[in-house]
Structure 1
Amino acid sequence: MSRIAYDPVKDRFAQIIRRFRFLRTLFYKILDLFFLRSWYIRKILRQYGSHLDADGEWRLLDAGSGFGQYDRFILQEFDNVKVQALDVKKDYLEDSRAYFEREIKAGRITFHQEDLLELDYENIFDFVICVDVLEHIEEDEMVMENICRSLQGNGYFLMHSPSIYSEEDADGDESFVDEHARPGYSKRGIREKLKNSGFTVLDVAYTYGAKGHLAWELIIKYPMLWLNKIKLWALPIMAIYYIPILPLSLLLMALDIRDNNERGAGIYALAQKQ
């Protein structure tokens, strides 16, 4: 679930795809397909964003935009949204600016390099997403307070992070979790932090339950470990490996998102500004 093991691999792919728009589009589609957290995030965005879109123009903040995969989905899914994407990594933002050039010219998205601990907006956004970012920040409640302040009244905040059970993914490999500021969030813990930050909690649920966790091991964890060890020489082997594994993993993910997981390696929370 952590970024640690597969971020170097993703960075290598980013170097390859940054010159070709169609490869970056393919990269986005692979991220959406392979990462179960994206299934959850897109499902909730469709449910709540559609109501906002029906009322006319609205603003969304992507707090930790990374490669911009959710920005692409949001701009394609909603006609009336304007996105502000923030990240601390300059190279990620530069690549995204190049990819979203047409959307930038249309005034639909802007990109800013900014630390979420220094976020200083007030009553601007209707929706904020923060996907797999808070686990890296020690002062997470400060970030939540900043996000709450940036929202308009009744604005929504959607976050996803590893849960308290995510350390089980390491299986003795500390590289999966050693850069996190905390082991992960529990339902109770994230509820308390959100309430302390000025939110009313609407929903909290574990992701990557037993089925989703197995799918993640099959299509993400083990292939990325191979790539980290033997680099791109693993690609031909992986192509053969995915022929039977990918359909099975997608089925497991589809079942996971329908389950009410009692525990899972990930957790999402949807909250609303009080």
Structure 2
Amino acid sequence: MQYDPIKRSLGRIFNITPSLRILFYRLLNLLLLRSWYIRRELKKWAAPRKHKANILDAGSGFGQYSWYLSRLGSNYNILGVDVKEEQVKDCNNFIKKLGKAEQVQFRKADLTRFVQPSRFDLVLSVDVMEHIEEDKKVFRNFFESLVPNGMLLISTPSDKGGSEVHEHSEGVTGFIDEHVRDGYSIEDISQKLRDAGFERIDVRYTYGEPGHIAWKWSMKYPIIMLNKSKIFFIFLPVYYLLVWPFCWILNYFDVKTAHSTGTGLLIKAYKPENK
């Protein structure tokens, strides 16, 4: 199932003006449960930090989290890196139109090679690691790029069906076929982060039963229909008016609940002060 073409199509529609793009970001924040979790953690991180901070948005994509971080602190310097040149160019154009080019910049970079020693107070990686085969290199690069006591925040699918591999027939790698692995187990990603040098590692399940149901109705089913026919774009507003209240309630309960299992993982890890 191709997800990126759908994202690009929607991105073009909302990229006509900066206001429409911001509306697109806000819609993503409403629809994507991972954004609920990430924004909650970013607010916690930012609350005591009124001073200058350097932030890496590792795999910045459409740039919605870089934009969000710029609103949390005017003295935050944010660098978004992405392997796709067209995404980087597009994000830089958008930020320039907002007049935030001094605060937020985007650059093309391969995370398996990108290292800026002891520069960043926070490294954010949202739905990126499931796309990278050489994840150990990336974790080590994140570690080296953080200042002592700096935090790494990751959202990624778990191995409990995060890519829906188990719901497909033989030969199909998952709902999102750009993934290189069927998510992480808590033990696997914790060990890889320890091997990279991280301490105070906190790994929690997201997308429990409420969130997984909401994801199917708010993301999976619309994407399936859009892959079959772009005509469905016309009916999207009506579809979401009908299903969104139900999905909002499910997302709310998912964020407020501690899950014993789930199809997503939220990870926080810190670089020791003496490293």
Considering the TM-score relative to the shorter chain, is it more than 0.5?
Answer: yes
CA contact (8 A) 1:170 1:176 kept: no
SS of structure 2 residue aligned to 1:130: strand
Residues 16, 236 of structure 1: alpha-carbon distance in 2 compared, 3 angstrom cutoff: closer
CA contact (8 A) 1:208 1:264 kept: yes
Comparing both structures, which one devotes a greater share of its residues to helix?
1
Residue 247 (str. 1) matches residue 245 (str. 2):
yes
* 2: CA distance, partners of 1:196 / 1:102: 42
Query: What do the CA deviations read for 1:173-208 (whole angstroms, capped 9, x no partner)?
Result: 735243322111111111111111110134211111
Match of 1:67 in 2: 62
CA contact (8 A) 2:55 2:79 kept: yes
Match of 2:215 in 1: 216
Report the Cα offset of residue 106 of structure 1: 5.4
Match of 2:86 in 1: 91
Report the Cα offset of residue 170 of structure 1: 6.2
Amino acid aligned to 1:131: V
* 2: CA distance, partners of 1:41 / 1:32: 10
Amino acid aligned to 2:203: V
Match of 2:268 in 1: 270
Q: How does 1:36-47 map to 2 (within 5 A)?
A: 36-47=33-44
* 2: CA distance, partners of 1:96 / 1:118: 21
Report the Cα offset of residue 104 of structure 1: 6.1
* 1: CA distance, partners of 2:31 / 2:119: 33
Of residues 150, 167, 171, the one that matches 1:171 is 167
SS of structure 2 residue aligned to 1:248: helix
Amino acid aligned to 2:127: D
Residues 106, 112 of structure 1: alpha-carbon distance in 2 compared, 3 angstrom cutoff: closer
Runs of 4+ deviating beyond 3 Å: 102-106, 167-170
CA contact (8 A) 2:18 2:98 kept: no
Q: Which moved further from structure 2: 162-171 or 75-84? A: 162-171
* 1: CA distance, partners of 2:3 / 2:84: 17
Amino acid aligned to 1:99: F
Alpha-carbon RMSD: 1.7
SS of structure 2 residue aligned to 1:117: coil
Structure 1 portions without partners, runs of 5+: none
CA contact (8 A) 1:65 1:87 kept: yes
Q: Paired residues, what number?
A: 268
SS of structure 2 residue aligned to 1:5: coil
CA contact (8 A) 1:207 1:265 kept: yes
Report the Cα offset of residue 236 of structure 1: 3.6
CA contact (8 A) 1:58 1:81 kept: yes
Match of 2:202 in 1: 203
